[in-house]
Every structure is written in structure tokens, then in C-alpha cells.
Amino acid sequence: MTLSPSDKALVPFVSVDNMMKLVHHIGVEPMLRGLADYIEADFRRWELFDKTPRIASHSAEGVIELMPTSDGEVYGFKYVNGHPKNTREGLQTVTAFGLLANVGNGYPVLLSEMTVLTALRTAATSAMVAKYLAPRDADTMAMIGNGAQSEFQSLAMKAICGLKSVRLYDIDPAATEKAARNLTGMGLDVVACRSAEDSMEGAQIITTCTADKQYATILTDNMVGAGVHINAIGGDCPGKTELAPGVLHRSTIFVEYPEQTRIEGEIQQLAPDHPVTEMWQVINGTARGRTSPEEITLFDSVGFAIEDFSALRYVRDHIAGTDLYMDLDLLADPDDPRDLFGMLLRAGG
Amino acid sequence: MTLSPSDKALVPFVSVDNMMKLVHHIGVEPMLRGLADYIEADFRRWELFDKTPRIASHSAEGVIELMPTSDGEVYGFKYVNGHPKNTREGLQTVTAFGLLANVGNGYPVLLSEMTVLTALRTAATSAMVAKYLAPRDADTMAMIGNGAQSEFQSLAMKAICGLKSVRLYDIDPAATEKAARNLTGMGLDVVACRSAEDSMEGAQIITTCTADKQYATILTDNMVGAGVHINAIGGDCPGKTELAPGVLHRSTIFVEYPEQTRIEGEIQQLAPDHPVTEMWQVINGTARGRTSPEEITLFDSVGFAIEDFSALRYVRDHIAGTDLYMDLDLLADPDDPRDLFGMLLRAGG
């Protein structure tokens, strides 16, 4: 099929089908734990990375974003869209793919689907953070919003934080039913709840992950008691939040990259100088996490390029020696680099 | 190979091999003319596009860039690296790939190699611009710098501007020999020259396309006479220029996107308010091009995202009905968009 390009001209590609096979090859929970380890390791060396807010192209229907970063040796970026209306047309709200490249010569080294991988990395990040911030012995989670991310969140909390029980709630009972069905037999006690309040009964971890693009109030101030960890996933772009300002004012707030979170996260509702703690500093020991059992900790998560970078590194390392990728003839590779035209001529026979 | 994803989940991919087949299927010169038409059409509606300087990640060895743009209906971006040292290791200085997506739902609609395609679009852009700016009846070009771009430039000038003779010069005679060999039998009178001065004899178009990353002086002030069009390709990043400031001061300067050219082009040597004309305004008739036979016109070309967008549009339109692409399973596509996890479970059999 190809004119035998050299190894460097072929880029390993992981399709959706192969990504799903990789998940089953490794196991969902071991892969979530592995991803969390890679993400934690990259949070620990956070200062080393080139960081920039994502580059967004907005339209009336949604947004297309590029999220690049680099650790000086490897460059990565993710393409991701967000189109809330897509669901109505039977399409994914979010699709994504990503790439790793060698900083030294600029040659791509991995192209991968990232719709499935983003779901996994988002859940792994939430659980890795909850391991640091949730109350000791937290074993019950309220999962509010039972869309595409909910099962991943539940299993990551089980695999990484020892979660035993998940209490599901969604305004659409069919979503809750779907999540409960998917989580059957996975080793979690799964409870379908009739209201957000109901779902929070006995929960030390509260995960909000709803999809509507609006200033919503999934958690009102009086719903949230002391001694919980809130994992707020759904508020992730300008004009899209889930928590009442009162909840934010009672919480100690942890973020990924403040420059981005202040635009996209729950804290877009607060003053631009409202104090937040950068999660990487908690992980490397230079900032405090939870300081008392009564504290309300809030992870105001919007997703950051470094998490995608970690996830792509994990995939790159774990497809080695498998047949779960194909080589794409993505890069021109003439014998003489100056003779691109000669290569083209010879291809014509 | 895949679990029968829907049409929208499959993204047409044009490999290097298929791109070369597409070039031969259409013919090099017809394709250069076709690309020039698409680029010219997009220059004409320039104001409509989202424009942003490229997003660069610099390292000691080179740069990796993302170049996004959108016309409101279609979004496109190019990944491109620039690593001058690569040639020494037998690698391409520049490799690239690109993507088009539907703005309405964020789904990618084309993934393509762009190393070969960038060479073609760069040459098509140069020749499209020369059609507007070169002296009437220009038929001889000095081609200074005989690297990977030189044959494409020569053929585009033939196909689009009616060039009859190309005079090649490079500091490395082997490069000139390679270019001359590749251009044999293509309908151009090809002359290998021993100096830059020699190559410029009788030339109405002077193309400079050298690779060294430095403030070079390929054209000194006394080398350039009246009544020529200079097509300056090689000065395309900070610290990399080819023309003496004196040449710039005697020329009427035309650029793609001033915000980018002032950083990357020849005019980085000039005051930030030095007057330049935006080429799209010449094309849509709101600015003047050449005003006299004696004028020196200079196209200070650095390459802009819209040209890549045009080239990807051309490829998208011309692979339809051919077998010169393969469908990539790049996007997850569960039957129920909220049931990504269920799709993953079912993939496990």
C-alpha cells in the first residue's frame, strides 16, 4: 500500500476500536489506576511543562479547541469539540483525538482517538485528586448527572479511592437506569435515587457532571453539609456552571491551572482574586490539601492539556508489543530530504 | 476491523502515498492551478475567516506549530514542525498534517498528510500572487535555493504565470543538479547557474528559498535592479531572513497577514509601522498591486493558515469518488451518545 517509507515516517495510530480493545486487554480498573499514576507523576513535575490556555474557536453551535503542551522532550496536543446540541442529533457532545511528537525533530510518534481516552483520563484525574482531598475512609459517592462520564467516574473512584457505594441521580430517569445497568456486577453497591438530595445521603464524595450549557444550580447552598469532597466536572466553559456561589464560598477550592479555571470553571462566578490552591502543589507537598474532617473541599475541574499528555504517554507505553495500533503513512520521507519532488515523481511510476 | 461505526465516526484519511497518487491522478500542473484557484477564492473572502497567529512551541532544536482557522462553516488546522538540523540526520526539516472539521457539530471530516500538500500550496500561493504582481510578460525566474520547494515553485510559475525559463542557483551544486534533473522534460528551459548574480540575469521574477536559520543576505542591495518581482519564501521565522534591508526599502511590500509577517517575515528587519499591503486586498480590488513597470514588488511570504485551509478544501473535494483515501475509525460513536461506557462494555464481548 505504501512505498516502504522508513520507520520514522510511519505514525502508530490507535483507533476507537483498538482503544476499546486496549481497555479490555489491560482491564478497566487497572487502566484507570495506571492513568491516574501517569497523571499524578506529571502533576508532580507540573512546573516543567509549557502551559497555555486552550486555543478555542467558538461558533453559535459550540466550540472546537486545541490543547497543546510539552515537557521539553515530548510535545502533545488534543483536538476536542464541545457541541451541547449534538446529543439531540444522535451525535457525541464531545469527540477528541490527540497526538504526541518528538520535540527534538518534530516528528509525530502517536496519533490516537481520545473520545474514550478522555473519558478515562477525566475519571482518573478526579479519583487521583479525591485520593488527596476526600475525607478519610470516604466510601460513598453521590453521582449527579448520569451521562457518558458517570460510569467512568464511579469505577475510577472504586479503583483508586476504594469507593463501595454510588448513588446515582439524573433529571432523566433513563440516564440513571442506563448507568445503573452498566455498573451492575462491577463490585459497587449501586443505588438509583429520585432527587439530588436523596443521592447525597451518606455520601462523602459528591460528583456533579451535568451537560446543559447554562448557569445551573445542581447544588444549592443548603444541600451541602460539612465534611464532604465535591468533584465538580460539568462546569467547564464560560457560561456553564453547576454550583451555587454559596457552596463555593464555604469550600476550599482546588484547581488544575488557575488561568484557565477562572475563565471556564465554577470560580468564573467568583472574584478574579478569590483564593484557590493549585492541585499540583498539594501533590508535590508544597501546599496543603484537606486540613480537617469538617472542611468542604472542592475540585473545580475543567480538564487540562497535561492530563491528555499523560494519557497519551500511557497509551504510547502500553501499545508497545501489542497489535492494537496500525502504522499510518502520515509523513513524507524522501531518501534525500531535499528531494521531495523527486519522491513525488518516482511515485508516478 | 471496526465495530461498524456510523459514517460520521469515520474520517477520510489521505496518506502520503495517496496524496502522491492524487497529484499524478490530477497532474502536477493542473493540481497547482486548482490549488491556486482555491487559495485565490479564499483570499477574496479573507475578512470572513477567524485569523490568529500560529501557536508555536519553541525548543532549542526547532519549533512545532498549530495553525488553525475557520470560515464559520468549516474549521481547519495544520500541525507543522520546523527543525533546520533534521536534514543532517536524513529527516525532513518540515513535516505536516492537517484536518478539516464541521463547525456545526465539531466532527472532523478530513485528515491529510500535508508535507507534500504544503509544498504544493506554497508554490501555488507564490504563483497566484506573482500573477498579480510580476511585470507583464515575465517569463524568466531566478530560483535561489534549490531545496525541497524549488521544483514546486518552478512548475507553479510555469502553470500559473506562463514561466518559460528557470535559472537555478544554490550554494550546494548538488542541490542545483537535483533540481535541474527533476525539472528535465517538464517544458521549462532550465539553466544551472554558478552564482546568485548569474541566476538573476534576465529574470523578472526572483524567488529566494534558502533554509539556514540566520539573518542571511541572499540578495544584497546592488544585486536587485528595477522592474522585478521578488518572491521571498525562506524568511519565515524570527531570526531567519534572506534580503538586505536596502532591498526592502526600495520595494513595495505585499504580505499575507501583517500580524504574523512582522514577526516572521523579511519585514522583521523594518520598523513595526513600515507600510505593507495585504495581498487579499489586491485580489479583491481594494488595494493596488504593481503600479509601474519599474517598480520592485516583494511578496514577503511566510505561509498562512488560510492557504492550508484552501489546500485541504481542494483535497476534500477531489478525493470524492476516488479510492485515494481510507476511512479512519477516529471518533467514538455509541448508538446512544450518553452510553459511551456501554459501547466500551459491549466491545469487550
Q: Based on the fold, state whether residues B110 and B138 are members of the same structural domain.
A: no
Across the interface, whether the CB atoms of B5 and A21 are under 8 A apart is answered no
Predicted confidence at residue A90, as pLDDT, reads 82
Residue A2 lies in a domain: no
**Please, which contacts does B276-279 make with residues 24 or more away whose CB atoms are closer than 8 Å?**
B276/B300, B277/B252, B277/B253, B278/B46, B278/B254, B279/B43, B279/B129, B279/B132, B279/B254, B279/B255
Rounded to a whole number, what is the distance in Å from the CA of A168 to chain B's nearest CA? 15
Residue B59 lies in a domain: yes
Residue B221 lies in a domain: yes
Residue A148 lies in a domain: yes
Name the phi and psi angles at A57, rounded to 5. -115, 105
Hey, what's the torsion of the CAs at A12, A17, A18, A24, to 10 degrees? 160
- E strands of chain B, at which residues? 10-14, 55-58, 63-70, 74-82, 96-102, 108-113, 140-144, 165-169, 189-192, 205-208, 215-219, 229-232, 241-243, 251-255, 277-278, 296-300, 326-329
Mean pLDDT score of chain A, rounded to an integer?
93
Predicted confidence at residue B3, as pLDDT, reads 40
Cell of B154: 518552478
- Cβ-based burial of B78 (10 A; exposed 0-12, middle 13-18, buried ≥19): buried
Q: Based on the fold, state whether residues B263 and B139 are members of the same structural domain.
A: yes
Across the interface, whether the CB atoms of A97 and B108 are under 8 A apart is answered yes
Across the interface, whether the CB atoms of A345 and B93 are under 8 A apart is answered no
Predicted confidence at residue B213, as pLDDT, reads 66
Across the interface, whether the CB atoms of B347 and A24 are under 8 A apart is answered yes
Residue A332 lies in a domain: yes
Nearest CB partner across the interface for B87, out of A93, A119, A337: A337
The pLDDT tens digits for B328-337 are 999 988 888 8
Q: Which of A71, A170, A236, A300 is catalytic?
A: A236
Q: How many angstroms separate the CA atoms of A120 and A16, rounded?
A: 13
CATH (domain of B343)? 3.30.1780.10
The pLDDT tens digits for A62-104 are 999 999 999 999 999 999 998 988 888 888 888 899 999 999 9
Report which of B151, B167, B243 is spatially closest to residue B199, judged by C-alpha positions.
Answer: B167
**Is B217 at the interface with chain A, CB within 8 A?**
no
The pLDDT tens digits for A326-341 are 999 998 888 888 899 9
Look up the ipTM and state it.
Answer: 0.91
Across the interface, whether the CB atoms of B68 and A50 are under 8 A apart is answered no
Name the phi and psi angles at A195, rounded to 5. -155, 165
Across the interface, whether the CB atoms of B99 and A79 are under 8 A apart is answered yes
Predicted confidence at residue A176, as pLDDT, reads 98
| β-bridge mates for residue B65, sequence order | B56, B80
Name the phi and psi angles at B151, rounded to 5. -70, -40
Task: Give the CA diameter of chain B.
Answer: 75
Rounded to a whole number, what is the distance in Å from the CA of A187 to chain B's nearest CA? 15
Number of CB pairs, chain A paired with chain B, less than 8 A apart: 267
Predicted confidence at residue A203, as pLDDT, reads 98
Q: Amino acid identity of A163? A: L
Q: Based on the fold, state whether residues A27 and A100 are members of the same structural domain.
A: yes
DSSP secondary structure of A55-111: EEEE-SS-EEEEEEEE-SSEEEEEEEEE-GGGGGGT--S--EEEEEEETTT--EEEE
Q: Based on the fold, state whether residues B14 and B66 are members of the same structural domain.
A: yes
Q: Based on the fold, state whether residues A142 and A291 are members of the same structural domain.
A: yes
Predicted confidence at residue B109, as pLDDT, reads 96
Q: For A1, which residue in chain B has the nearest alpha carbon?
A: B17
Residue A215 lies in a domain: yes
Q: Based on the fold, state whether residues A22 and A54 are members of the same structural domain.
A: yes
Stretch A2-7: mean pLDDT: 53
Q: For B337, which residue in chain A has the nearest alpha carbon?
A: A92
Instruction: List, as ranges, residues 289-318 from A with C-beta within 8 Å of B.
Output: none
Rounded to a whole number, what is the distance in Å from the CA of A349 to chain B's nearest CA? 9
Cell of A53: 490556555
CATH (domain of A164)? 3.40.50.720
**Is B284 at the interface with chain A, CB within 8 A?**
no
- E strands of B247-325, at which residues? 251-255, 277-278, 296-300
Q: Based on the fold, state whether residues B255 and B328 are members of the same structural domain.
A: no
**Is A57 at the interface with chain B, CB within 8 A?**
yes
Nearest CB partner across the interface for A344, out of B2, B9, B20: B20
Cell of B93: 526539516
Q: In A, which residues are within 8 Å of B81 by CB distance?
A: 101, 105-107
Q: Based on the fold, state whether residues B203 and B339 are members of the same structural domain.
A: no
Q: How many CB atoms lie within 10 A of CB A186?
A: 15
Predicted confidence at residue B122, as pLDDT, reads 97
Scanning chain A, the segments in alpha helix (DSSP H) are 16-26, 28-44, 115-133, 150-161, 173-183, 196-199, 245-250, 258-264, 279-283, 305-319, 340-347
Residue B36 lies in a domain: yes
**Is A171 at the interface with chain B, CB within 8 A?**
no
| Dihedral over Cα of A254, A259, A265, A269: its sign | positive
Cell of B123: 508554490
Q: Based on the fold, state whether residues A111 and A259 are members of the same structural domain.
A: no
Q: Amino acid identity of A37? A: D
Across the interface, whether the CB atoms of A178 and B339 are under 8 A apart is answered yes
Across the interface, whether the CB atoms of B70 and A50 are under 8 A apart is answered no
Name the phi and psi angles at A102, rounded to 5. -80, 120
3-state secondary structure of A291: coil
Report which of B82, B47, B117, B58 is spatially closest to residue B302, judged by C-alpha positions.
Answer: B82
In sequence order, the 6+-apart residues with CB closer than 8 A to the CB of A132 are A279, A282, A283, A289, A290
| β-bridge mates for residue A253, sequence order | A298
Rounded to a whole number, what is the distance in Å from the CA of B58 to chain A's nearest CA? 9
Structural domain containing residue B146: 124-304
Across the interface, whether the CB atoms of A347 and B106 are under 8 A apart is answered no
Residue B2 lies in a domain: no
3-state secondary structure of B225: coil
Q: Based on the fold, state whether residues A192 and A314 are members of the same structural domain.
A: no
Stretch A20-48: mean pLDDT: 98
Q: For A24, which residue in chain B has the nearest alpha carbon?
A: B348
Predicted confidence at residue A6, as pLDDT, reads 64
**Is B161 at the interface with chain A, CB within 8 A?**
no
In the 8-state DSSP scheme, what is residue A38?
Answer: H
Cell of A49: 511543562
| β-bridge mates for residue B77, sequence order | B68, B99
Q: For A87, which residue in chain B has the nearest alpha carbon?
A: B337
Q: How many angstroms separate the CA atoms of B223 and B129, rounded?
A: 23
In the 8-state DSSP scheme, what is residue A29?
Answer: H
**Is B53 at the interface with chain A, CB within 8 A?**
no
Query: B51 with B257: CB under 8 angstroms?
Result: yes
Nearest CB partner across the interface for B341, out of A55, A182, A328: A182
Q: Based on the fold, state whether residues A129 and A85 are members of the same structural domain.
A: no
| Average pLDDT for runs of 10 along chain B of length 349 | 59 97 98 98 96 86 94 96 86 91 96 96 98 97 96 98 98 97 97 97 96 78 94 83 93 96 93 97 97 97 95 98 96 86 91
Q: How far is CA A122 from the centre of its chain?
A: 2
Q: Based on the fold, state whether residues A12 and A110 are members of the same structural domain.
A: yes
Residues of B taking part in catalysis: 236
Counting the structural domains of chain A, the total is 2
Across the interface, whether the CB atoms of A99 and B86 are under 8 A apart is answered no
Q: How many angstroms separate the CA atoms of B166 and B199, rounded?
A: 9
The pLDDT tens digits for A127-144 are 999 999 999 999 999 999
Across the interface, whether the CB atoms of B337 and A92 are under 8 A apart is answered yes
Predicted confidence at residue B29, as pLDDT, reads 98
**Is A116 at the interface with chain B, CB within 8 A?**
yes
Q: How many angstroms separate the CA atoms of B199 and B192, rounded?
A: 8
The pLDDT tens digits for B288-307 are 999 999 999 999 999 999 99
Q: For B97, which residue in chain A has the nearest alpha carbon?
A: A330
Cell of B229: 518581482
In sequence order, the 6+-apart residues with CB closer than 8 A to the CB of B98 are B76, B77, B78, B79, B111, B112, B114, B117, B308, B311, B312
